[in-house]
Chain A
Amino acid sequence: MSARDDILGRIRNGLGRGALTGDAAGKVAARVAEHRRNLIPARATSLEQAARIDFFVAMAEVVQTTVARVSSAIDIPNEVARYLAAENLPAELRMAPDASLDAIPWSERPLLNVRLGKAEPGDAVSLTPCLAAIAETGTLMLVSGEATPTTLNFLPDTHIVVLRAHQVVASYEDGWDLLRQRPGGGPQALPRVVNFITGPSRTGDIEQKIELGAHGPRRLHVIMVDDVAADERK
């Protein structure tokens, strides 16, 4: 007997039944198909979008993410240059080859050296987009794809993420919904990797003292474009 059949047999033996069939199997299949939400904490769901954005920023800052708010995508190159200079970092970065980032007017900061692609071992700074930001815990949600290689999120010492304020959602479940709405639908439309990132890399493995930059980035900087219209900010 194969290990697989043996293990499934032992489980069914313990449960005192055979393989699920008919109605019983249908009920479990329906539970999966329905993928009902469980209890979601009210802390972020109960807020209007503008307050939810502020809550995201506050939660992100608790875990040492830095957040700069700019009024338009045109301001992103300036903010990147300002941040790199303030952190005493070289004016060069590796950027995800993503259309939304390409559209940023990088040529206005000619001294900023922007290269596209996945992260290489020598890269000190990366710049990526994200799919969403989860206000509940100040978490960024990034997905892998042709234009968004995962190594950018982990190899460089400094990770800069461009977030548009309308991308801030309340909960992880809102993030799952964004995945479920992707073209194709169903599990096979899932990206290979979904990264929930809550602050820079850290460890407490030596005497429980938190040190930043264990293996992943030491710094996580979010540039948030305030694109939520004034009438939504009540």
Chain B
Amino acid sequence: MDPTSRAFIENAHAGLANPVLRRALGIAGTGFPARRAEAVARLPEFEALRDEGKAIKDHTIAHLDYYLELYEKNVTAAGGVVHWARDAAEARAAVLDICRSVDARIVTKGKSMVAEEIALNDHLERNGITPVETDLGEYIIQLRREPPSHIIAPAIHLMKEQVEEAFRAAHADLDPARIIAEAPQLCAEARAILRPQFLAADVGITGANFLIAETGSSIIVTNEGNGDLTQTLPKVHIVIASLEKIVPTLEDAATLLRLLARSATGQEFSSYTTMSTGPRRPGDLDGPEQYHVVLVDNGRSAMIGGEFQEMLRCLRCAACLNHCPVYTAIGGHAYGWVYPGPMGAVLTPALIGVAEAGHLANASSFCGRCESVCPVKIPLPNMMRHWRERQFTQRQVAPTYRGGLELWTWVARRPELYHALVEIKARLLGWLGKSRGRFRALPLAGGWTQVRDMPAPEGRSFHALWAERQRAKR
């Protein structure tokens, strides 16, 4: 999809004014954190596992070239094929070539954020192939022709009324008098509609939560079982995954799996964790005849050795979204591309450029909740700070804002002047605001007073009061 990250502020306002989104995010913003907290409380080792998870990913990235080569060797030994893709275009071409080689008409898909990143569905459609999303949330947003708003719950911005509307429009040959007002009926309808698609598909495409170098295996984690039907029934299975999904061994994968479900949904373990190694074996009664892996770089290798390398630890659990006061207020679409929330604010500019998305890092109060819940301890606020710095040094901020910051910096470096000015300001505002105790409008503070009153100061600055008390003590 084409990013609309530049329009973040407009997008955010639209999100804040959307009553459906307000209700939907209200459910998400309380449910996910509560369930995660319960799951963490049940596992005394959770904090220690976070440290181990971080160490495993750091070790892997520091030896990524080695593990990728080992992984490829083992995929090949198991009868699979690895396709390397430098960028989105190469990844799309690789998938299309495989589909064409088997004259594919229908392609079923499990949920994959990398497939969203490379806009795979549009590309397949343009080339006469019908992609069918099979994860319920992905299916809903595919019908509505909109991008996911959350990396594990793509339709989290919708309520059941919107789902019903989408189903009635798309499933026009079903009885219009049928009742599909509630979630069980909607789920049953999606199951019935998608079942024949699973059976008819020529190719199944899934993402991967982990790629295991030691064995050449891919792991997917789902709750619905759609990923398993997607990869088991068609004659070709394509795994599409970015480079940093690699882990060294099965034991390392087990440690990260313990962190993933708890951080994502608060489950002890997702319903289905599936490890696949190569195509159907001689004597097997089912399974795909071909097993392909499209390994996507698309900007990851450029993050290695720089200040955003630690972002490559990300497991895509979405805990940082679920705990973010900004994400849970404005929703994922405001971020304008594939990855929203704190992880999106850090990753998106690294993948599509600071000019396009560097300002996403401003959508944070730096409360630090994202880092505190990250299963692999990614210092998200710090990395957002790095993007703010780059945005500033590359002169991608408004001249008034830039000028204001430069003036403030100049004053702040002169403590006596700074204290004197603050004291004057405190006295002046304290005197002006004495009668009402607050201001409804203030010059240079319109951004604040447009939406809320500014409390009037007491009349003295903290520094002045502090100095006075210190003197009194002597």
Contacts and interface: CB of A to CB of B under 8 A. Distances in A.
Interface in A125-181: 137-139, 144-146, 149-151, 153-155, 171-173, 176, 179
Interface of B: 24, 27-28, 31-32, 43-45, 48-49, 52, 56, 59, 62-70, 72, 74, 77-78, 84-86, 90, 134-137, 140, 153-156, 158-160, 163, 183-184, 186-188, 190-191, 194-195, 198-199, 213-217, 223-226, 228-229, 232-233, 243, 248-252, 254-255, 257-258, 265, 267-281, 283-287, 295, 297, 301-306, 309
Contacts, number: 267
A117 to B, nearest CB: 7
Contacts of B286: 118-119, 149-151
19 contacts: A7-B84, A7-B297, A8-B69, A15-B62, A15-B65, A19-B66, A28-B67, A32-B213, A32-B248, A38-B254, A63-B267, A121-B199, A150-B228, A195-B272, A199-B271, A204-B223, A206-B163, A215-B134, A216-B229
Interface in A187-234: 187-188, 190-209, 211, 213-217
B269 A206 contact: no
A103 interface: no
Contacts of B72: 4
Nearest to B59: A31
A61 B305 CA distance: 47
A121 B286 CA distance: 13
Contact of B78 (A39, A187, A206): A187
A215 B284 contact: no
A185 interface: no
A118 B198 CA distance: 16
B78 A188 contact: yes
Contact of B52 (A35, A39, A146, A192): A39
Given A7-B84, A192-B281, A214-B191, A38 B225 contact: no
B229 A11 contact: no
B232 A11 contact: no
Nearest to A8: B65
A19 B70 contact: no
B31 A16 contact: no
Interface of A: 2-4, 6-8, 10-16, 19-20, 25, 28, 31-32, 35-39, 41-43, 59, 62-63, 117-119, 121, 137-139, 144-146, 149-151, 153-155, 171-173, 176, 179, 187-188, 190-209, 211, 213-217
A39 B66 contact: no
Contacts of B77: 187-188
Nearest to A3: B84
Contacts of A41: 43-45, 49, 258
A11 B135 contact: no
Contacts of A8: 65, 68-69
Nearest to A1: B86
Contact of B271 (A3, A172, A193, A202): A202
B262 to A, nearest CB: 10
B299 to A, nearest CB: 10
Given A8-B68, A35-B250, A209-B183, A14 B225 contact: no
Nearest 8 CB-CB pairings of A with B? A216-B225, A14-B304, A14-B305, A214-B224, A205-B137, A10-B301, A146-B283, A196-B273
A192 B280 contact: yes
Given A13-B305, A203-B136, 16 more contacts: A4-B72, A8-B65, A10-B301, A15-B305, A35-B214, A41-B44, A139-B269, A145-B281, A146-B283, A146-B284, A150-B228, A150-B287, A201-B223, A202-B224, A205-B137, A215-B195
B251 A194 contact: no
Contacts of A207: 24, 27, 159-160, 183
Contact of B229 (A6, A155, A193, A206): A155
B268 A63 contact: yes
Nearest to B297: A7
